[in-house]
Structure 1
Amino acid sequence: MKKILLVCAAGMSTSLLVNRMKQHAEQLEEEIEITALPVAEAGTIAAEADIVLLGPQVRYQKSQVESMAGDVPVAVIDMRDYGTMNGEAVLEKALQLIK
């Protein structure tokens, strides 16, 4: 099972994106665990994920999250995909980065 962690400011808007990503994962018949947490709580599970995705609003904290994540890749979600809540595009990009 793949684990994706989305990191944002407070977790509100990202929860909608998580739901859309989960819908796409079901269509792909992939078993993927997707979690969203604020930056302040991300350190608890960042190193256990396969990839950590940052919301565009917290991209300035990328180096901080990278230090929490260890060897786990950290990427910033495309602003357009985030703004339109394009769960399909965000999930596809995450899966590419995991491989």
Structure 2
Amino acid sequence: MKAFSNKELAKAQLQAEFLRALANSTRFKILLLLRGGECSASALVEATGLTHAGVAQHMTLMARWGIVTKRRTRTNTFYDSTLAEPDILDHATTPLPKRQNR
């Protein structure tokens, strides 16, 4: 078996970090909320029970990874998902079929 190159290892590390960003249950819930379209920070606070600072912390991390976009008005901040394929979230919430014994 061929060993991974340094470039391949670095890419795998980056991909793992991206998946960890998605794997947090609070961030995943927020992404499910954003499937319906853009939401204000206040709406996310109400839906998640987090503080404004808590929502902002999660959204900053997801924005850094390009998972969400942020739009500001004079009085509100709005977030939207950048996931091109929102159905990918369904795959994560669908139980895997039981593995058949060989």
TM-score normalised to structure 2 length: 0.27
Which is richer in strand?
1
